[in-house]
Amino acid sequence: MKETIFYILVNMKIDGCVESIAKFFIGNNRKSATAIFLQLKGRKKVDEKTILTLDLVEARDGLPLNIQMINCSLEELAENCKIITKEIFKLFNLEEKSNLHDG
For the segment 54-87, what is each residue's pLDDT rounded down to a tens digit? Answer: 999 999 988 999 999 999 999 999 999 999 999 9
Write the burial class of residue 40 (CB in 10 Å: 0-12 exposed, 13-18 middle, 19+ buried).
Answer: buried
Q: Provide the residue ranges of all domains of the chain, joining segments of one domain with +.
A: 4-102
Reply yes or no on whether the pLDDT at 93 is more than 80. Answer: yes
Say what the pTM is. 0.86
Residue 102 confidence (pLDDT):
42
Q: What are phi and psi of 40, to 5 degrees?
A: -75, 150
Percent of the chain with pLDDT over 70: 90
Greatest alpha-carbon span in the chain: 52
Reply yes or no on whether the pLDDT at 92 is more than 90. Answer: no
Residue 95 confidence (pLDDT):
66
